[in-house]
């Protein structure tokens, strides 16, 4: 990970090339809405291989990655299936053919794995009702490591646990970020923040890069701090055709076209050729969209403003230190404090400790 004060702005192509590697465990941070389709399509175009994908709400993002032969394993709570009985999905086709392995969790147990990973635990207890379900009983590539059971030290009862998840990289799309990587997101949160914080690295794309002062003035929206982020991408409409709170709604007509194409593998691959492989970037994608459908559909789904009430983060802005550098509570300077602690053998030089 890069230092917090470094400018991390780069293109989607560069970010994916540098920070998503063959064989990585990749978590798609967004939950249903705001999906980072700009990053998904770039992973497909760069033909990344052998990925294990984590997704709390697999829709066409997971479908594209599977169709692009990028994926060998999927950890999920839900994946779309188009067209009812007569339809299907790329996940279903590949799983049936033995081309991918899938591990299924509930929303709660999936999030518990990321929460454990983010907080530094090796496992996390979950509610016992899961043990009566096929989610607990049916195992794929994780086998006995999908769930465990421990004795509660207080009640003696069996408690199911899930292992921590620490993906190699989280890809996520947000409303805004600064150039250092402090990323802000609002709307349906799901696992967004935990996915970022559990991962070893984070690639953030955003609708707009804003000044650091804006981030500082609204800290409640920051889901991941800069020192955890590898790359920042400014990509307007990066989540299209999904919706993003405050910016645009779901493009339901385009979504329906994707859904119809996914009913057969052949038609979905034809869709992929037109909308992924034949386009070099998100800008090219939007340009092609306007050529096909005009600009009006995009204008119609643009969000109308609905602002939340401001909050007051003000204070007296006084200091615990006086003008002479003395701490008010102790009545001494930092140098005087260090000297006193040294005299009493209380000061430890951590640079020399094991």
Query: Does one domain contain both 149 and 205?
Result: no
CA pair distance 90, 95, nearest whole angstrom: 8
pLDDT at 354: 56
Query: Does one domain contain both 72 and 194?
Result: yes
Q: Is the pLDDT of residue 139 over 70?
A: yes
The answer to whether position 309 is within a domain reads no
Query: Does one domain contain both 265 and 205?
Result: yes
The answer to whether position 7 is within a domain reads no
Q: Is the pLDDT of residue 246 over 50?
A: yes
pLDDT at 317: 80
pLDDT tens figures, 63-122: 999 999 999 999 999 998 877 777 789 999 999 999 999 999 999 999 999 999 999 999
The answer to whether position 313 is within a domain reads no
The answer to whether position 323 is within a domain reads yes
Query: Does one domain contain both 210 and 292?
Result: yes
What is the reported pTM?
Answer: 0.89
pLDDT at 319: 81
The CATH number covering residue 238 comes to 3.40.1080.10
Higher pLDDT, 341 or 184: 184
pLDDT band at 219 (very low <50, low <70, confident <90, very high): very high
Domain region containing 30? 12-122+165-300
Higher pLDDT, 287 or 87: 287
Please provide the average confidence, as pLDDT, over all residues in the chain: 94
Query: Does one domain contain both 189 and 155?
Result: no
CA pair distance 133, 140, nearest whole angstrom: 15
Report the 3 state secondary structure along the chain: CCCCCCCCECCHHHHHHHHCCCCCEEEECCCCCCCCHHHHHHHHHCCCCCEEEEECCECHHHHHHHHCCCEEEEEECCECCECHHHCECHHHHHHHCCCCEEEECCHHHHHHHHHHHHHCCCEEECCHHHHHCHHHHCCCCCHHHCCEEEECCCCCCEEEEEECCCCCEEEEEEEEECCCCCEECCCCCCCHHHHHHHCCCEEEEEEEECCHHHHHHCHHHEEECHHHCCEEEECCCCCCCCCECCCECCCHHHHHHHHHHCCCHHHHHHHHHHHHHCCCCHHHHHHHHHHHHCCHHHHHCECCCCCCCCCCCCCCCCCCECCCCEECCCCEEHHHHHHHHHHCCCCCCHHHCC
pLDDT at 68: 98
- In contact, 64 and 74? CB cutoff 8 Å: no
Query: Does one domain contain both 201 and 284?
Result: yes
Max Cα–Cα distance, the chain, nearest Å: 81
Query: Does one domain contain both 92 and 202?
Result: yes
Q: In total, how many domains does the chain have?
A: 3
Task: Give the angle 120-224-247 at the CA atoms, nearest 5°.
Answer: 145
pLDDT at 1: 47
Closest by Cα among 229, 203, 255, 272 to 21: 203
Query: Does one domain contain both 173 and 219?
Result: yes
CA pair distance 89, 168, nearest whole angstrom: 26
pLDDT at 312: 92
């Amino acid at each position: 990970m890069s230092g917090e004060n470094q400018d991390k702005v780069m293109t989607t192509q560069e970010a994916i090339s540098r920070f998503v590697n063959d064989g990585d465990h990749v978590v798609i941070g967004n939950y249903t809405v705001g999906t980072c389709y700009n990053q998904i399509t770039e992973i497909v175009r760069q033909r990344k291989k052998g990925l294990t994908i984590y997704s709390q709400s697999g829709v066409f993002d997971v479908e594209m990655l599977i169709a692009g032969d990028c994926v060998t394993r999927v950890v999920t709570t839900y994946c779309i299936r188009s067209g009812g009985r007569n339809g299907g999905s790329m996940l279903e086709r590949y799983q049936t053919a033995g081309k991918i392995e899938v591990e299924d969790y509930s929303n709660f147990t999936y999030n518990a794995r990321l929460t454990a990973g983010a907080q530094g635990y090796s496992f996390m207890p979950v509610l016992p009702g899961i043990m009566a379900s096929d989610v607990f009983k049916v195992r794929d590539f994780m086998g006995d490591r999908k769930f465990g059971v421990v004795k509660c030290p207080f009640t003696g009862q069996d408690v199911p646990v899930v292992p921590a998840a620490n993906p190699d990289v989280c890809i996520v799309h947000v409303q805004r970020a600064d150039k250092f990587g402090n990323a802000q997101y609002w709307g349906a949160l799901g696992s967004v923040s935990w996915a970022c914080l559990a991962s070893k690295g984070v690639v953030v794309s955003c609708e707009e890069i804003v000044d650091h002062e804006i981030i500082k003035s609204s800290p409640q929206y920051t889901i991941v701090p800069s020192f955890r982020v590898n790359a920042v991408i400014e990509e307007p409409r990066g989540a299209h055709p999904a919706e993003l709170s405050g910016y645009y709604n779901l493009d339901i007509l385009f979504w329906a076209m994707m859904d119809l194409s996914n009913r057969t593998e052949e038609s979905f691959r034809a869709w992929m050729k037109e909308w992924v492989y034949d386009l070099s970037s998100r800008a090219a994608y939007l340009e092609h969209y306007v050529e096909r459908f005009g600009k009006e559909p995009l204008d119609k789904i643009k969000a109308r403003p609905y602002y939340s009430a401001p909050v007051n983060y003000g204070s007296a802005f006084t200091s615990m230190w006086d003008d002479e550098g003395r701490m008010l509570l102790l009545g001494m300077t930092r140098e005087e404090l260090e000297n006193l602690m040294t005299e009493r053998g209380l000061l430890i030089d951590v640079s020399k400790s094991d």
